[in-house]
Amino acid sequence: MDARRCDRARHDRALVPPPGCRHPDAPSPHRPRRTREQRHRARAGSGRPGERRLRGAARRAVPAFARHDLPELGYERSRREPDWAQSCRVAGRHDEVDLPTFQLGGWYDIFSQGTLDNFTAMRRAGRSATLIMGPWTHTNWRHVVGDVNFGFGANSDFMGMRGRVHDMQLDWFQRTLGDGAAPEPDEGKVLLFVMGINQWREETEWPLSRAVDTDFHLRADGRLTREPPSTAEQAEEFTYDPMDPVPTTGGALFMSDEFRPGPLDQTVVEAREDVLVFTTEPLPEDVEVTGRVRAVLFAATDGPSTDWVARLCDVDENGVSRNVADGIVRVRAATPGEAAEHVVDLWSTSIVFRAGHRIRVQVTSSNVPRWDRNLNTGEPEESATTARVARQQVFHDPARPSHIVLPVVPA
């Protein structure tokens, strides 16, 4: 199950329970468990005009743990008690971990940014840290990921003729732990798979200091340009209906088998009227993007709450668009009709957009079931019973220049 990124699962869930940390299944001493009748009343709808009441499974037990009679392992408590959740995470406490670490992940892994954040935090704390990032998902370390064959060298059994990744790990453990003797010094290394050119590359750092944040601006008529708008351009509009959300199609997923992770053809997604698409001209030369990607959207909605989703895609010579990275932000206290700046974190990637390819950005308001849909009413997600259609606007004029920021590595 893939949880919402924006304020639940944006980082690695590495747990470091402090002394006295209660078992997550235990009831909170500060908030007694509600009865079945109390939970039912909490899910009752307001019946406000213009809203639609949810029926069936959407109104029954929430979350999915209860519907499927699964144990609650701390997810709900972490939402109720942010301080408790923070005390059980390693984020912000890396200086307490005085050990070498080996971080292994993939660009389409649901925990990819957590892996990178742990590496950078350990390096910042002065610890030895090794990082390997392949083109993989959380469970697929082979060379065919999604719709793309990255070549045999991408397979974790080959690693660009470096040998098996498991042997690399065993070698690291041998050098780090040794056989009782003093461990060998290990400065750590960085090994990145650069998609597009499909090559492994050794580095000494992450993020790359030579990468230059470069703005690509959303423009009228679906253009994506390095030049910002110099005159007023008509805002783009679309309607977001939470009862007809954009279906999850690829990405950094860890879901059931019908939702394939990785880079997938976006034709069906981009044909929808509730997905805005902005595309560059064919590139005259290769453009490498390695690092953390973010989108800056100046946007407005006509409701009290909504979501903004941004997705970076690579469009090949045949016009096939495949997802590279994406992200979401939830706006919980919107002023209806008022434009505001929203920063969407798309996490990190490493890809060369080849000459003749085009860079594309999608903007929409949903990606279901990867992220829970926003019902546009402002009600709490766990008890919302109504949904409303939202009218969305994305601006791109000199005062409100919506754009995506790509970390471009100079050739």
State the Cα–Cα distance between residues 149 and 225, nearest whole angstrom.
29
pLDDT tens string 390-405: 999 999 999 999 999 9
Choose the weakest-confidence range: 5-14, 160-169, 364-373.
Answer: 5-14
Residues 330 and 343: beta-carbon distance below 8 Å: no
Residues 160 and 168: beta-carbon distance below 8 Å: no
pLDDT over 50 (residue 60) = no
Average pLDDT of the segment spanning 332-359: 96
Choose the weakest-confidence range: 120-124, 172-176, 405-409.
Answer: 172-176
Strand partners of residue 88:
none
Average pLDDT of the segment spanning 25-43: 42
Query: What is the structure's pLDDT at 338?
Result: 95
At 33, the pLDDT band (50, 70, 90 cuts) reads very low
What count of Cα atoms within 13 Å lies in the side-chain half-sphere of residue 286?
13
Name the E strands within 99-223.
101-108, 129-137, 144-145, 148-149, 190-194, 199-203, 212-218
State the Cα–Cα distance between residues 111 and 231, nearest whole angstrom.
41
Q: Torsion angle of alpha carbons 64, 35, 381, 89, nearest 10°? A: -70
Query: What is the structure's pLDDT at 53?
Result: 61
User: Please, which residues have CB within 8 angstroms of residue 319's CB and are 6 or more apart in sequence?
Assistant: none
Q: 42: left (phi > 0), else alpha (psi -120 to 50), else beta?
A: alpha
Closest to 385 measured CA to CA, from 64, 51, 67: 51
Residues 156 and 197: beta-carbon distance below 8 Å: no
User: Please, which residues have CB within 8 angstroms of residue 174's CB and are 6 or more apart in sequence?
Assistant: none
Query: What is the structure's pLDDT at 333?
Result: 86
Work out the mean pLDDT of the chain and round it to a whole number: 86
Q: Look-up: residue for tokens 């670490």? A: 101
* Chain centre distance of CA 376: 21
pLDDT over 60 (residue 5) = no
pLDDT over 70 (residue 39) = no
State the Cα–Cα distance between residues 377 and 107, nearest whole angstrom.
34
Choose the weakest-confidence range: 21-30, 132-141, 238-247, 291-300.
Answer: 21-30
Omega before residue 63 within 30° of 0, cis:
yes
pLDDT over 80 (residue 93) = yes
Average pLDDT of the segment spanning 84-108: 92
Name the E strands within 248-356.
276-279, 287-301, 306-315, 321-331, 340-353
pLDDT tens string 190-246: 999 999 999 999 999 999 999 999 999 999 999 999 999 999 999 999 999 999 999
Query: What is the structure's pLDDT at 16?
Result: 36
Residues 372 and 255: beta-carbon distance below 8 Å: no
Query: What is the structure's pLDDT at 258?
Result: 94
CB atoms within 10 A of CB 288: 21
State the Cα–Cα distance between residues 105 and 107, nearest whole angstrom.
7
Residues 226 and 217: beta-carbon distance below 8 Å: yes
pTM: 0.84
State the Cα–Cα distance between residues 17 and 23, nearest whole angstrom.
9
- The percentage of residues in the chain with a pLDDT greater than 70, rounded to a whole number, is 82
- The percentage of residues in the chain with a pLDDT greater than 90, rounded to a whole number, is 72
